[in-house]
């Protein structure tokens, strides 16, 4: 079996797309830039999607793609707005009492699942209890509502949820698809079958999941009775589209080809090297949104030499030339990250001066740490040991842009005399090594709509073996205390102030090297109207309609 190298592939794609651009320019550009009347119902929209879910049950699967795709099927109690506040959805109102441990939700009346089962207080209880039950083996949803204790059915349209402690991220968690609602009937019939997707997945959402061919596509049809979009959504009633089809096209070039040749109306995950092709085509447009959470970030292992030394971590941070790096990897389409949190996260606090490198300061820091000798290759040494750090990665799970970023980081750190060794591993070798902390750096991204994600990433109790993602292996009592208060304080202003201190401390201690502000880039035909993103940067199709006849 022969698989071409990334370079060959990229070269080929560039050549091939040049041809595509040339031909697609000739297409009619006059289709519809002007006003085109009110939204019209009907039609099929095909989305060329880059990833295919392994499991379609968001209460079980932690995958972002599952949450994004199943947003079409499952509604939540509330919706998060981009500013971090919440809008009524399946719940018309709520109040918090008991010092933040008791949440009472009034449920919307007249909501039904697509199998006819009414959505009521019992449905909420059955779902939340199922997520928390160990037998469900939930890999993310249960962690999102970790202090969940119980749900009481107060009456048919009122539920009271009790937590074991005050938990500020609770509302944000409830707004995700991970805490969407299955029909109690489908949960009762065959909870194990929900992972497989298809008609067994029954929600209250704007679409029904009608069929699924693994390795090819997932097909959804309109739920004609839908009338309960989140408050403030542009369109409240049933979806305009008759049918929504996700075609799984893992190769970026094929996705773009499908879009430009009219075989798909929307292409998700437009690779940076293809954005120009899409933009050059006047029938197409690019829509993008910054997702909240933590973008692609290098976490420095603080419990292993040399990054146990704060000066060396800071030197690495000073050595990074984000501007140049991103210019070459993303062709200037990504801004340098100014904090470990993305600017789309409520509570984001920028720390200035992260864009340009400060090699002089890096040199001073490294000299002060005792690494002032250099060997023949220019790397710093100390008593004959070279200053080198290991960055293990799994090639199968590292997209091309990230591999290029890794190479760039290696080059930048090399300039101040730190050797980065990129160690390519198979997943089965990587995970035990990661879980045991045998690395100096690891890199990943972690989308999340609440700043509490920082507790999962930097809390001392959140090691990999404990089910957390504290990749820097920080055991910082000050940070722990702040993270804990920030997760319990209900008041937004006080939370934001705490998260500002937390982000400043993470930067000052050099626990992590953020790189770019992530961006979800979607290419769409101009006929596609009303495509928006929610606060998680998941595209929403309920309000989408197709203008003009083909």
Partner 1 sequence: MRSGVPRYVLRRSIAALAVVWGSVTVAFVALHLIGGSPVDAVLGPTVSATPGLRQQIIRAYGFDQPLVVQYGVWLGKLLTGDLGYSYQLNEPVPRVLADQLGPTCQLALAAVGVAVVVALATALLAAGRGRVIGAVVSAVEMAAVSVPQFWFGLLALSVVSFRWRLLPIAGDQGVASLVLPAVTLAVPVAGTLAQVVRAGLEEALAQPFALTVRARGVRESVLRVRHALRHAALPALNLAGWTAGSLLSGAVLVETVFARPGVGRVLITAVTAQDTPVVMAVVMLSATTFTVINLLVDLLVPLLDPRLRDGRATREARA
Judged by CB under 8 A, the chain residues 360 through 399 that form the site for partner 1 are 394, 396-397
Taking alpha carbons only, the member of 76, 56, 69 closest to residue 124 is 76
Token pair, residue 20, equals 């595509």
Sign of CA dihedral 194, 199, 201, 202: negative
CB contact set of 363 (below 8 Å; sequence gap of 6+): 315, 416, 417
Q: Candidates 110, 134, 352, 384: give the one binding partner 1 (CB under 8 A).
A: 134
With contacts defined by CB under 8 A, name the span among 13-21, 85-93, 177-185, 361-369 that binds partner 1: 13-21
Q: Are 494 and 515 in contact (CB under 8 A)?
A: no
- When asked if residue 432 is in the footprint of partner 1 (CB under 8 A), the reply is yes
- Min dist. Cβ of residue 428 to partner 1 (A): 2
For residues 182 and 189, the answer to whether their CB atoms sit within 8 Å is no
For residues 181-220, which are near partner 1 according to CB under 8 A?
192, 195-196, 213-217
Tell which residue, 325, 379, 288, has the closest CA to residue 513. Answer: 325
> Contact 231/87 with Cβ under 8 angstroms?
yes
Choices 82-90, 131-139, 174-182, 366-374; region in contact with partner 1 by CB under 8 A = 131-139
- Is 428 one of the binding residues for partner 1 (CB under 8 A)? yes
Residue closer to partner 1 (CB basis): 143 or 153 = 143
SS3 content of the chain, % helix, strand, coil (to 5): 35, 20, 45
- Residue whose entry in the numeric block shows the structure tokens 């002060």: 368
Site string for partner 1, 456-475 (x = CB under 8 A): --------xxxxxx------
For residue 545, what are the β-bridge partners?
Answer: 529
Q: Which helix (H) or strand (E) holds 185?
A: helix 184-189
Q: Return the range that interacts with partner 1 (CB under 8 A); candidates 102-110, 298-306, 359-367, 424-432.
A: 424-432
Among residues 446, 396, 426, 431, which one has the least CA distance to residue 291?
446
Per rule CB under 8 A, is residue 99 in the interface with partner 1?
no
User: Minimum Å distance from CB 464 to partner 1?
Assistant: 4
**Is-contact 61 195, C-beta < 8 A?**
yes
Contact 162, 443 (CB under 8 A): no
For partner 1, the closer CB: 181 or 253: 253
Contact flag: residue 490 with partner 1 (CB under 8 A): no
Q: Tell me the three state secondary structure of residue 7.
A: helix
Q: Which of 67, 78, 173, 249 binds partner 1 (CB under 8 A)?
A: 249
Q: Which of 87/196 has CB closer to partner 1?
A: 196
User: Which is closer to partner 1, CB of 119 or CB of 511?
Assistant: 511
The DSSP letter of residue 230 is: P
Binding to partner 1 (CB under 8 A) within 49-78 occurs at 54-55, 60-63
Nearer to partner 1, 62 or 118 (CB): 62
Phi-psi region of 79 (alpha: psi -120 to 50; beta: other; left: phi over 0): beta
**Minimum distance, C-beta of residue 264 to partner 1, in the bound complex (Å):** 9
Quote the least distance from Cβ 219 to partner 1, whole Å. 11
Nearest CB to partner 1, comparing residues 247 and 526: 247
State the minimum distance, in angstroms, from the CB of residue 140 to partner 1. Answer: 8
Minimum CB distance to partner 1, residue 435 (Å): 7
Q: Are 519 and 345 in contact (CB under 8 A)?
A: no
The rounded distance, in Å, linking the Cα atoms of 521 and 540 is: 14
Q: Is 429 in the site for partner 1 (CB under 8 A)?
A: yes
Query: Among candidates 133, 128, 125, which has minimal Cα distance to 153?
Result: 125
- Per CB under 8 A, which region of 71-79, 371-379, 425-433, 527-535 contacts partner 1? 425-433
φ/ψ bin of 370: left (φ > 0), alpha (ψ from -120 to 50), beta (otherwise): left
Say how many residues touch partner 1, by CB under 8 A.
61
Residue 387 CB, nearest approach to partner 1 (Å): 28
Q: Got the DSSP string for 98-132?
A: TTTTEEEEEEPTT-B-TTSPBP-HHHHHHHHHHHH
Which residues contribute to the site for partner 1 (CB under 8 A)?
1-4, 8-9, 12-13, 16, 19-20, 23, 54-55, 60-63, 134, 137, 139-140, 143, 192, 195-196, 213-217, 247-251, 253-254, 257-258, 260-263, 394, 396-397, 426-429, 431-432, 435, 444, 464-469
């Amino acid at each position: 079996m022969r698989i071409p190298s990334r370079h060959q592939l990229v070269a080929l794609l560039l050549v091939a797309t040049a041809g595509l651009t040339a031909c697609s320019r000739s297409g009619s550009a006059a289709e519809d830039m002007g006003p085109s009347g009110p939204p019209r119902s009907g039609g099929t929209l095909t989305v060329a999607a880059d990833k295919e879910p392994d499991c379609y049950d968001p209460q079980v699967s932690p995958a972002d793609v599952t949450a994004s795709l199943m947003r079409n099927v499952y509604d939540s109690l509330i919706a998060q707005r981009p500013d971090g506040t919440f809008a009524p959805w399946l719940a018309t109102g709520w109040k918090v009492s008991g010092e933040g441990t008791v949440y009472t939700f009034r449920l919307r009346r007249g909501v039904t699942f697509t199998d006819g089962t009414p959505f009521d207080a019992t449905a909420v209880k059955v779902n939340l209890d199922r997520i928390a039950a160990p037998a469900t083996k939930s890999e993310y949803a249960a962690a999102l509502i970790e202090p969940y204790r119980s749900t009481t059915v107060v009456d048919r349209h009122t539920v009271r949820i009790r937590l074991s402690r005050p938990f500020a991220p609770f509302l944000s968690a409830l707004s995700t698809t991970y805490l969407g609602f299955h029909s109690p009937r489908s949960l009762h019939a065959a909870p194990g079958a929900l992972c497989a997707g298809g008609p067994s997945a029954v929600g209250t959402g704007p679409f029904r999941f009608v069929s699924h061919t693994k390795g090819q596509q997932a097909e959804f049809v309109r739920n004609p009775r839908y009338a309960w979009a989140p408050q403030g959504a542009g369109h409240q009633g049933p979806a305009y589209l008759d049918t929504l089809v996700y075609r799984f096209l893992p190769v970026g070039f094929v996705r773009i080809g499908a879009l430009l040749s009219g075989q798909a109306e929307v292409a998700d995950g437009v690779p940076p090297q293809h954005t120009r092709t899409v933009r050059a085509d006047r029938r197409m447009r690019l829509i993008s949104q910054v997702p909240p959470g933590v973008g692609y970030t290098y976490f420095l292992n603080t419990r292993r030499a040399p990054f146990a030394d704060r000066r060396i971590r800071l030197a690495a941070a000073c050595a990074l030339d984000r501007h140049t790096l991103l210019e070459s990897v993303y062709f200037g389409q990504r801004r340098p990250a100014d904090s470990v949190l993305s600017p789309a996260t409520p509570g984001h606090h920028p720390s200035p001066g992260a864009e340009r490198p400060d090699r002089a300061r890096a040199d001073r820091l490294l000299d002060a740490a005792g690494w002032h000798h250099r060997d023949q290759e220019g790397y710093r040494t100390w008593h004959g040991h070279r200053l080198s750090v290991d960055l293990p990665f799994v090639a199968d799970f590292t997209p091309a842009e990230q591999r290029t970023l890794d190479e760039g980081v290696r080059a930048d750190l090399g300039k101040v005399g730190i050797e980065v060794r990129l160690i390519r591993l198979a997943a089965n070798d990587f995970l035990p090594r990661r879980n045991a902390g045998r690395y100096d750096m690891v890199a990943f991204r972690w989308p999340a709509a609440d700043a509490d994600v920082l507790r999962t990433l930097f809390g001392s109790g959140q090691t990999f073996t404990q089910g957390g993602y504290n990749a820097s292996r920080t055991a910082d009592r000050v940070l722990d205390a702040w993270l804990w208060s920030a997760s319990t304080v209900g008041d937004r202003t006080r939370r934001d102030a705490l998260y500002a201190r937390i982000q400043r401390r993470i930067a000052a201690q050099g626990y992590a090297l953020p790189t770019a502000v992530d961006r979800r880039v979607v290419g769409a035909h101009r006929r596609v109207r009303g495509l928006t993103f929610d606060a998680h940067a998941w595209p929403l199709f309920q309000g989408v309609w197709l203008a003009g006849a083909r």
